[in-house]
Amino acid sequence: MTLADRYPLLHTPVRWEWGGLDVQFSTELPADELVTNIHVVCFVGARIVLCRDDRDIWLVPGGTREAGESIDDCIRRELEEEAGARPVGPIRWIGAHHGISDRPAPYREWQPHPRKAFLWCTADVVLDSAPTNPADAEQILEVRTFPAEEAIRLAGTDGDHMPELVSLAIELHRR
Protein backbone atom coordinates (compact mmCIF):
# COMPACT_ATOMS: atom_id res chain seq x y z
CA MET A 1 0.00 0.00 0.00
CA THR A 2 1.43 3.38 -1.01
CA LEU A 3 1.54 6.56 1.07
CA ALA A 4 -1.07 8.03 -1.29
CA ASP A 5 -3.36 5.07 -0.53
CA ARG A 6 -2.88 5.46 3.23
CA TYR A 7 -3.18 9.27 3.19
CA PRO A 8 -5.68 10.01 0.41
CA LEU A 9 -6.80 13.47 1.61
CA LEU A 10 -3.21 14.64 1.83
CA HIS A 11 -2.45 13.44 -1.70
CA THR A 12 -5.63 14.76 -3.35
CA PRO A 13 -5.03 17.80 -5.59
CA VAL A 14 -6.72 20.83 -4.02
CA ARG A 15 -7.31 24.51 -4.52
CA TRP A 16 -5.99 26.92 -1.87
CA GLU A 17 -8.18 29.94 -2.66
CA TRP A 18 -6.40 32.12 -0.09
CA GLY A 19 -3.29 32.01 -2.30
CA GLY A 20 -4.80 31.44 -5.74
CA LEU A 21 -3.00 28.09 -5.80
CA ASP A 22 -3.64 24.64 -7.17
CA VAL A 23 -1.53 22.28 -5.07
CA GLN A 24 -0.59 18.62 -4.90
CA PHE A 25 1.30 16.96 -2.05
CA SER A 26 4.23 14.72 -2.89
CA THR A 27 7.13 13.15 -1.05
CA GLU A 28 9.21 14.26 -4.05
CA LEU A 29 11.23 17.15 -2.72
CA PRO A 30 11.21 20.47 -4.57
CA ALA A 31 14.20 22.37 -5.88
CA ASP A 32 15.50 24.84 -3.28
CA GLU A 33 14.61 27.85 -5.44
CA LEU A 34 10.92 26.83 -5.52
CA VAL A 35 10.48 26.70 -1.73
CA THR A 36 8.52 29.75 -0.58
CA ASN A 37 7.20 28.40 2.72
CA ILE A 38 8.26 25.85 5.31
CA HIS A 39 6.37 24.13 8.11
CA VAL A 40 7.75 21.82 10.77
CA VAL A 41 5.96 19.08 12.68
CA CYS A 42 7.89 19.38 15.94
CA PHE A 43 8.46 16.64 18.49
CA VAL A 44 9.28 16.95 22.17
CA GLY A 45 9.86 13.30 22.95
CA ALA A 46 6.76 11.50 21.65
CA ARG A 47 4.59 14.63 21.94
CA ILE A 48 3.73 16.99 19.06
CA VAL A 49 4.02 20.79 19.31
CA LEU A 50 1.02 22.81 18.11
CA CYS A 51 0.50 26.58 18.23
CA ARG A 52 -2.92 28.17 18.73
CA ASP A 53 -3.34 31.46 16.88
CA ASP A 54 -5.74 34.36 17.37
CA ARG A 55 -8.27 32.67 15.02
CA ASP A 56 -8.38 29.67 17.44
CA ILE A 57 -6.63 27.45 14.89
CA TRP A 58 -4.06 24.89 16.06
CA LEU A 59 -1.18 24.88 13.59
CA VAL A 60 2.30 23.52 13.15
CA PRO A 61 4.94 26.26 13.16
CA GLY A 62 6.14 27.63 9.86
CA GLY A 63 5.78 30.41 7.40
CA THR A 64 7.14 32.39 4.49
CA ARG A 65 10.78 32.34 3.46
CA GLU A 66 12.44 35.76 3.35
CA ALA A 67 14.52 37.09 0.45
CA GLY A 68 17.93 35.42 0.36
CA GLU A 69 17.12 33.21 3.34
CA SER A 70 18.29 29.59 3.34
CA ILE A 71 15.74 26.88 4.11
CA ASP A 72 17.60 26.05 7.33
CA ASP A 73 17.63 29.70 8.46
CA CYS A 74 13.92 30.01 7.61
CA ILE A 75 13.10 26.91 9.66
CA ARG A 76 15.03 28.18 12.67
CA ARG A 77 13.50 31.68 12.45
CA GLU A 78 9.93 30.38 12.08
CA LEU A 79 10.33 27.94 14.97
CA GLU A 80 11.48 30.79 17.21
CA GLU A 81 8.79 33.22 16.00
CA GLU A 82 5.81 30.87 16.28
CA ALA A 83 6.74 28.31 18.93
CA GLY A 84 9.67 29.66 20.92
CA ALA A 85 11.42 26.47 19.81
CA ARG A 86 14.81 25.44 18.51
CA PRO A 87 15.85 22.18 16.85
CA VAL A 88 17.98 19.74 18.85
CA GLY A 89 18.75 17.30 16.08
CA PRO A 90 18.44 16.90 12.35
CA ILE A 91 15.64 18.55 10.41
CA ARG A 92 14.07 15.99 8.07
CA TRP A 93 12.18 16.92 4.94
CA ILE A 94 9.11 14.71 4.47
CA GLY A 95 7.44 16.22 1.41
CA ALA A 96 5.95 19.32 -0.12
CA HIS A 97 2.82 20.81 -1.56
CA HIS A 98 3.83 21.70 -5.10
CA GLY A 99 1.73 24.59 -6.34
CA ILE A 100 0.91 26.68 -9.37
CA SER A 101 -0.46 30.16 -8.79
CA ASP A 102 -3.00 31.86 -11.03
CA ARG A 103 -2.22 35.26 -9.53
CA PRO A 104 -0.61 37.82 -11.87
CA ALA A 105 2.41 38.31 -9.58
CA PRO A 106 4.13 36.46 -6.72
CA TYR A 107 3.07 37.03 -3.11
CA ARG A 108 6.48 38.61 -2.47
CA GLU A 109 8.60 40.02 -5.31
CA TRP A 110 11.56 37.68 -4.67
CA GLN A 111 9.47 34.51 -4.78
CA PRO A 112 9.29 32.17 -7.76
CA HIS A 113 6.18 32.48 -9.89
CA PRO A 114 3.91 30.80 -10.93
CA ARG A 115 5.44 27.53 -9.60
CA LYS A 116 6.26 27.27 -5.90
CA ALA A 117 6.51 24.73 -3.10
CA PHE A 118 5.51 24.54 0.54
CA LEU A 119 8.04 22.30 2.30
CA TRP A 120 7.06 20.03 5.21
CA CYS A 121 9.65 18.83 7.74
CA THR A 122 9.99 17.15 11.11
CA ALA A 123 12.36 17.99 13.93
CA ASP A 124 13.00 17.24 17.56
CA VAL A 125 12.87 20.56 19.40
CA VAL A 126 13.09 22.19 22.80
CA LEU A 127 10.61 24.87 23.78
CA ASP A 128 12.82 27.37 25.56
CA SER A 129 11.27 30.80 24.95
CA ALA A 130 7.98 32.49 24.14
CA PRO A 131 6.93 33.04 20.52
CA THR A 132 8.22 36.39 19.26
CA ASN A 133 4.99 37.09 17.30
CA PRO A 134 6.22 39.56 14.66
CA ALA A 135 3.52 42.05 13.67
CA ASP A 136 3.32 40.74 10.06
CA ALA A 137 2.75 37.10 11.09
CA GLU A 138 0.11 34.93 12.75
CA GLN A 139 -0.34 35.93 16.34
CA ILE A 140 0.31 32.88 18.49
CA LEU A 141 -1.59 32.82 21.77
CA GLU A 142 -0.52 29.41 23.08
CA VAL A 143 2.11 26.73 22.42
CA ARG A 144 1.53 23.24 23.79
CA THR A 145 2.65 19.68 23.30
CA PHE A 146 0.07 16.95 22.76
CA PRO A 147 -0.02 13.18 22.58
CA ALA A 148 -0.07 12.04 18.94
CA GLU A 149 -3.81 11.25 18.78
CA GLU A 150 -4.83 14.62 20.20
CA ALA A 151 -2.37 16.51 17.96
CA ILE A 152 -3.78 14.72 14.91
CA ARG A 153 -7.32 15.71 15.90
CA LEU A 154 -6.46 19.35 16.68
CA ALA A 155 -4.45 19.73 13.46
CA GLY A 156 -7.75 19.39 11.59
CA THR A 157 -8.64 22.95 12.65
CA ASP A 158 -6.01 24.08 10.09
CA GLY A 159 -7.39 22.14 7.12
CA ASP A 160 -8.80 18.76 6.15
CA HIS A 161 -5.39 17.48 5.02
CA MET A 162 -3.57 18.35 8.25
CA PRO A 163 -4.51 15.27 10.33
CA GLU A 164 -3.05 13.07 7.60
CA LEU A 165 0.02 15.27 7.26
CA VAL A 166 0.70 15.08 11.01
CA SER A 167 0.10 11.30 10.90
CA LEU A 168 2.59 10.95 8.04
CA ALA A 169 5.10 13.09 9.95
CA ILE A 170 4.74 10.83 13.00
CA GLU A 171 5.18 7.70 10.86
CA LEU A 172 8.29 9.02 9.08
CA HIS A 173 9.80 10.56 12.23
CA ARG A 174 9.67 7.21 14.05
CA ARG A 175 11.65 5.45 11.29
The per-residue pLDDT for range 86-140, each reduced to its tens digit, is 999 999 999 999 999 999 999 999 999 999 999 999 999 999 999 999 988 889 9
* Mean pLDDT of all residues in 46-53: 98
- Per-residue pLDDT, 41: 98
pLDDT over 80 at 79, yes or no = yes
Q: pTM (2 decimals)?
A: 0.95
Question: Both ends of the chain: CA-CA distance in Å?
Answer: 17
What are the structural domain ranges in the chain? 3-174
Q: Which of 144, 163, 147 is nearest to 155 (CA)?
A: 163
DSSP 129-149: S-----TTS--EEEEEEE-HH
pLDDT over 90 at 174, yes or no = no
Report the alpha-carbon distance of residue 59 to residue 101 in Å, rounded.
Answer: 23
Q: Hey, what CATH topology would domain 3-174 get?
A: Nucleoside Triphosphate Pyrophosphohydrolase (3.90.79)
* Mean pLDDT of all residues in 32-48: 98
In which region does residue 13 sit, left (phi positive, over 0), alpha (psi from -120 to 50) or beta (all else)?
Answer: beta
Q: What is the pLDDT of residues 156-168, one digit of tens each?
A: 999 999 999 999 9
Q: CB within 8 A of 139, min separation 6: which ones?
A: 53, 54, 133
